[in-house]
A = this chain, B = another copy of it.
Amino acid sequence: MLQQSWTLLGSRYVAEYRVLRVREDRYRFEPSGVEADFVVCDSADWALVVPLTPDDQVVFVRQFRHGVRAVVLEIPGGLIDAGETPEAAAVRELREETGYTAERVHLAGGLIPNPALNNATCHVVLAEGCRPGGNTAFDPLERIDIELRPLQAVPEMIRRGELRHAQAVACFALLEARGLIALDRRAPPA
């Protein structure tokens, strides 16, 4: 079996940042006996939330992302605090980042964003009946713009490359596969 091909020999943290620790895991690959180190970005799980207003608008956010050094269109979300449920983290991040509050939230499932490199699971939450009125609470180093777009525009946003955030794209796909949202799949106008 694939799982038994690898024996974990040891593990050590080599760097620590606000949001993650860099870990080196040493393995022996049993088929050849070769030993090697693998780098892992070790973080808490996070939650991403697809927030829908009563008239089926999605509350997107835009923020500068330091990995790609550019402003990125995505959906609200963030690391889950110790002892917090994914749903509670989604509600909290939604309010902190956008000021919106939700009538109902539903945990749709978990995705693994980068299993080769990252240990984390991304928990996908649908928030319905979202309305403005809460108080945003940006981190000291956060600045976020809100952008409402119709849910039915999402396939076209993906098609045009306007929505390129892989985890956000996968969240919509998971909600659709779970039957929690329905996306119009007619071909776009030529």
Q: Which residues of A contact B (CB under 8 A)?
A: 1-3, 5-6, 8, 14-15, 17, 19-20, 22, 25, 27, 29, 31-32, 34, 36-41, 62-72, 74, 109-119, 122, 140-141, 143, 145, 155-156, 158-159, 161, 164-167, 169-170, 172-174, 176-179, 182, 185, 187-188
Contacts and interface: CB of A to CB of B under 8 A. Distances in A.
Contacts of A169: 111, 169-170, 173-174
Contact of A67 (B62, B64, B116, B141): B116
B17 A164 contact: no
B27 A111 contact: no
A12 to B, nearest CB: 13
Q: Label chain A's interface by main secondary structure.
A: mixed
Contact of A40 (B2, B66, B145, B164): B66
Which 7 A-B residue pairings sit nearest by Cβ, starting from the closest? A65-B115, A38-B66, A158-B177, A111-B166, A169-B170, A173-B173, A166-B170
25 contacts: A2-B64, A3-B70, A19-B39, A27-B66, A29-B141, A36-B141, A38-B66, A40-B66, A40-B67, A41-B67, A41-B117, A67-B115, A68-B112, A68-B118, A72-B112, A109-B164, A112-B165, A114-B114, A114-B167, A158-B173, A159-B177, A166-B166, A167-B170, A176-B185, A185-B185
A98 to B, nearest CB: 15
User: Which among A74, A122, A156, A166 has the greatest number of chain B C-beta atoms within 10 A?
Assistant: A166
A20 to B, nearest CB: 7
